[in-house]
Amino acid sequence: MPSATRRPPPSPAPSPEPTDADDANVDERVYAAVSKALLSGKLRPGTPLRERALAETLGCTRGAVRKVLARLGSEKRLVLEHNRGAFVPNPSIDDMRGIYRARRIVEAGLITTLFGKLARDQVAALRKHVQAEQKAYKEGRREDAIRLAGDFHLLLAQMAGSEELLSYIQRLISNTELYKALYDSAEAASCAPREHEQIIEALMGKSLDKAIEVALEHLDELEQRVIAGAAAEQEVDLASLLNGGAVGGGGGHSHGH
């Protein structure tokens, strides 16, 4: 009796490509990962962010990465160039001065709106937030500390009760958070919680002029540090170019600006 023909074993199915359905929160996961990398200060100005490499590293589709890069581009955290991809911004000093000028104008109005009008629970919320900032700095979580520092100003904007104002301040803060990550030193940035506490006290004080002065001094000092850091980095880049890539025998960039 002839033996039955044996069928070859089925070939193993190819491993499925990761899909967005594998993780309902894939966009937020990828967004958080890329944002954290940006705010860590380790990605230098002009660094390209490649879709394929990010998708492989984060275990998601290139489509998910593309969507997140577009979102970060709309927030001005990345520069998107047609047919070239996404890059860490490399802002000019004039660009940065313009953003800080806008923040000073907007936040002077915000302080004027909130002065003497904060409820007890709002003051408690602001102080709790400052405590979270202090904790992040003490634990060395630089990217969390930078994000929380920006969120303090967003919390003030929320208390003003204007969605339009909040949306505009969010865009400005997205820019200045990145400037801090790129050019501010960790040591200097650690003073943010103390300065935010001073803003809270000034908002509860007796002088609107003093409250505005405190808030604007906070932005002025930050701008000065960031501009100094950017200028120092540009000097290093120029020296590197002129010396064929060697700068005093050391490599990389320093954040001790």
**82: its two tokens:** 């047609």
Rounded CA-CA distance 180/39 in Å is 8
**Does some domain include residue 216?**
yes
DSSP state of 8: P
**Does some domain include residue 63?**
yes
Rounded CA-CA distance 127/201 in Å is 10
Do 77 and 97 lie in one domain? The reply is no
**Does some domain include residue 54?**
yes
The pLDDT of residue 241 is 56
Question: What are the beta bridge partners of residue 79?
Answer: 87
**Does some domain include residue 252?**
no
The pLDDT of residue 15 is 46
Rounded CA-CA distance 18/60 in Å is 5
Do 103 and 179 lie in one domain? The reply is yes
**24: its two tokens:** 């309902």
Ranges of the chain with pLDDT below 70? 1-24, 188-189, 235-257
Q: Which amino acid is at 141?
A: R
**Does some domain include residue 143?**
yes
**Does some domain include residue 158?**
yes
Whether pTM > 0.85 for this model: the answer is: no
The pLDDT of residue 250 is 37
Do 81 and 135 lie in one domain? The reply is no
**Residue after which a domain boundary falls, among 67, 87, 107:** 87
**Does some domain include residue 12?**
no
Do 64 and 138 lie in one domain? The reply is no
Q: How far is CA 196 from CA 191, 214, 217, 218, in A?
A: 9, 9, 11, 8
Residue span of the structural domain in which 37 resides: 25-87
The pLDDT of residue 80 is 95
The pLDDT of residue 189 is 62
Number of domains in the chain: 2
**Residue after which a domain boundary falls, among 70, 87, 104:** 87
Do 76 and 194 lie in one domain? The reply is no
